[in-house]
């Protein structure tokens, strides 16, 4: 069930990037799109009844910590992408005084 919700988020993000013409909205869509994949990693790492992987004597079932680490890296990448995209949007706004893609294509 939660995988289906995750896929809906994934498709929603993709749809926003493709459909919207406002560049800021596109950046938001890109963020939703990326987050859905991050959530997928976290869902996949969850073990039923698992606890955080700290060694002790009475807990034997642990969740996998590696995907969290991977996603930490991916989040950093996503922040860099977002900030670069926003910087480019500012530059475009200064040059054309518009951030609507269908208007920009005509120029």
Partner 1 sequence: MNQLPVLVLVLPLLVAPILLLFRDNRYAYNMSLGVSFLNLLLIISLFQHVYENGNMLYELGSWEAPIGIRLNADLLSCYFLLLMNFMSLICLIAGHKNVKSQIEDDNIYLFYIAWLLCNVGFSGIILTNDIFNLFVFLEISSLASYFLISQGNYKASSLAAIQYLFIGSIGAVFILFAIGILYANTGTLNMSDLSNKIINNNISLSMSLSIAMFLIGVGIKTALFPLHGWLVRTYTYAPSIIVSYFSGTSTKIGVYILLRIFLDVFHSINPLEHYELAQLILFLSLIGVLLSTLYAVKQIEVKKMLAYSSVAQLSYIILAIALLTPEGLTASLVHVFNHSIIKTGLFLVVTILFINNKDVSIDDFSGLGSKYPVLMSAFLLLLLGLIGLPLTSGFISKWYLVSAILQSDYWYISAIVLVTSFMTLFYVWLLIEKIYFSVSVNHDSSIPTISQSLCIYLLAAITIYLGIETSLTFGISDQISTNFFYNTNK
16 belongs to the binding site for partner 1 (CB under 8 A): no
For residues 33-92, which are near partner 1 according to CB under 8 A? 33-34, 37, 40-41, 44, 67, 70, 73-74, 77, 80-81, 84-85, 88-89, 91-92
- What's the residue count for the chain? 107
The answer to whether 36 and 14 have CB atoms below 8 angstroms apart is no
Q: CA 74, 33, 97 angle in degrees (round to 5)?
A: 105
Element (H, E) at 51: none
CB of residue 57 to partner 1, shortest distance in Å = 24
Which three-class secondary structure state does DSSP give residue 100? strand
| Tokens, residue 86 | 């926003």
Binding residue for partner 1, selected from 14, 25, 28, 53, defined by CB under 8 A: 14
Q: State the residues that interact with partner 1 by CB under 8 A.
A: 10, 14, 17, 23, 26, 30, 33-34, 37, 40-41, 44, 67, 70, 73-74, 77, 80-81, 84-85, 88-89, 91-92, 95-96, 104, 107
């Amino acid at each position: 069930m939660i995988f289906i919700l995750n896929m809906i988020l994934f498709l929603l993000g993709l749809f926003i990037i493709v459909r919207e013409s406002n560049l800021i909205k596109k950046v938001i869509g890109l963020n939703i799109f990326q987050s859905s994949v991050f959530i997928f990693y976290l869902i996949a790492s969850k073990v039923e009844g698992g606890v955080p992987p700290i060694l002790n004597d009475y807990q034997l079932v642990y969740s996998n910590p590696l995907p969290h680490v991977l996603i930490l890296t991916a989040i950093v990448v996503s922040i860099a992408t977002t900030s670069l995209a926003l910087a480019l949007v500012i530059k475009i706004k200064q040059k054309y005084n518009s951030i609507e893609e269908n208007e920009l294509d005509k120029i």
